[in-house]
Every structure is written in C-alpha cells, then in structure tokens.
Structure 1
C-alpha cells in the first residue's frame, strides 16, 4: 500500500459523546461539526531525562495527551449543549451559558487529505473550554468570522 508523502486539508470533523462507568466506555453516534477551518494539537507532557554516571542514563516520554485548538465557522448549538453544558431555554430559544455548567467528555474525529490516501484520526476523552467569542464590522469586503474552541485530549480512565 502506498503511503502519503504529504497531508493537507481538514474535513469530516465530528464529535462523539461518551459515558464511562465501571471501566466500561460507551460511545454515542458521531455528530458532525461542520465548517472546520484549522486544527492544531500540541503535545502535553515532557521528556523525562535522568542523568547518572555523567551521562543520560534513562529517557522516556511522559505522554499526557494534547492541548488542541479547533477553528470552526460556527459552533453548533447541539455541541454547546452536549459538550459545553449550556442549556437551551425552550420558551425563548436562548442558549444559556450557566455559571456552574459542567462540560461533558467527547471524542473528536477528523480527516486529513493526502497525496495518496485520506487519514482519519480519533482523539479520545476531550474536554472543551468555553469558546472565544469575537466579531468585527463589515468593510468593503465581508470576511467570515471563525470561532476558536480549545480543548484537552487525554487518555480514557
């Protein structure tokens, strides 16, 4: 099978809510997060280095998951409810961000194109923080806004 020399693009971004009880993890159905613009992951955890006998005696990776950032066209209401713990007021249709809202864990699924094959990824046990809210006035050309969603991906325990 031929391997990619390069990857590019971002598509098919989905999230999957899950529950974990008594060491059993149950995933829901993937839900689309349309409008993915950019996705970055920074590794968490340092390289452990131990020196003895005047040399590097032991080295190991300390994998603590990733810090992620997803730039997206707009954050779907369902994601705000499912993952961020916001509540929809059925009477007036307002999405409320509660002071004591508890976010729920989810897996993040996404795909990169390549010169030969697409590559699909899954980041398990993600927890998202409240997104950045920003906008700017229109000028002679209207540039679409994006929203930035920060999250942590860590091992499932």
Structure 2
C-alpha cells in the first residue's frame, strides 16, 4: 500500500488509564474523548553539543517525550474523574475538583487523516493538567467554546524498553490497525536491519 503524502485532520482521540504492578504495565480499554479540535506535540529534551579539536566533536539527543496541547469541545466527565482526579458524588450527581486529588496516568490515542489512510498513534505515558475555564456570551451567532488540556508525555518502561509513542504505517497489518481502539497496542521492537 502506498504511504500518505499529506496528513490533515484529527479524530478518534481516546485515553486508556493504566496501572503498574510488579513492574508490569496494564492498560485499561481505551475510552473515547469526543470533539477533538486540534493537537500540538512539542518535543521534550534537547541536543547536547560537545566541542573538541576546534570542531563539533560529539552530539547527543535526549528524548524525554512531548509537551502536548489538546483542544477539545468539552472535557468528558469520565476523563475529569479518571485522568484529572476529580470526584463524582454518586448521591448528588456532582463532580468536585479537590485540591490534593491525583489523576491517573494514561495512554493517549488519536489519529491524523491522510490522503491514503489515517495514521493511528499512541503515546504510552501521559498526565494531564487541569484545563483553563472560560466561556463567552452569545451574540448574533453562536460560537461553541472549547477546552484546552495540557498533557505531558514521558517515556515508560514496557518489556524492558523505554517507550514514548508509536504509530501505524502503510505496512501495518489490518488486525493491528482495526484493533487500535480495542486495546492499547504494545510493540515488540525488532530493529530494522
């Protein structure tokens, strides 16, 4: 199958909380985050340059994941509870933000459309910060407001490898591609010869 020449659009955002028991990461089933508007991923880490013999003698890069900004239509209640640590009072049906609440880390899944086929991504170890809260009055037209989440994606050890993210390619088999949102894909890394 040919590769995408371009990418556009963002859809199928989802999150999958996980637990670590005895060094083993167990992901829950991905939960949709509807209403994805935009996503920006900025790399964390930097190039270290070392000069010797009057030249750039050595360069090393540090991959510490990504700082992400996710704009969505509204924060789903399940995300607020699971990922942000807000508390649902089942008797009153209200969600309360608690100052010392701890959200759960999660995998973040999404896809970018392409001219041939959508490319599906998963960032394995994310945490979210509470979003800014804003709204504005209606005028002669109704403009929907959005919420913006700040995410930090950092490396996590899975099966002895420090993983940051993975994505599908034109060569990804249909079984893996079609199951992407059923369970979090965990790669078996075989280096390219």
TM-score over 0.5 (shorter chain): yes
- The equivalent of 2:2 in structure 1 is 2
- The equivalent of 1:11 in structure 2 is 11
TM-score norm. by structure 1 comes to 0.98
- The equivalent of 2:40 in structure 1 is 40
Is 2:103 the counterpart of 1:99?
A: no
For residue 156 of structure 2, give the secondary structure of its aligned residue in structure 1. Answer: coil
TM-score norm. by structure 2 comes to 0.80
Distance 1:62 1:46 in 2: 5
**Could you list the per-position Cα deviations for residues 76-133 of structure 1 after superposition, in whole angstroms to 9, with x for gaps in the alignment?**
0000000000001122211100010001100000011101111000011100000111
What is the CA-CA distance between 1:134 and the residue it aligns to?
0.6
What is the CA-CA distance between 1:22 and the residue it aligns to?
1.9
- The equivalent of 1:23 in structure 2 is 23
**Could you list the per-position Cα deviations for residues 14-60 of structure 1 after superposition, in whole angstroms to 9, with x for gaps in the alignment?**
10010112220000001000000001100001111111111111111
Task: Provide the aligned C-alpha RMSD in A.
Answer: 0.8
Distance 2:151 2:13 in 1: 14
- The equivalent of 1:73 in structure 2 is 73
Distance 2:13 2:75 in 1: 12
Distance 2:145 2:118 in 1: 27
Distance 1:96 1:4 in 2: 44
- Unmatched segments (≥5 aa) in structure 1: none
Number of positions where the alignment pairs a residue of Structure 1 with one of Structure 2: 157
For residue 100 of structure 1, give the secondary structure of its aligned residue in structure 2. Answer: coil
Moved over 4 A (4+): none
What is the CA-CA distance between 1:61 and the residue it aligns to?
1.1
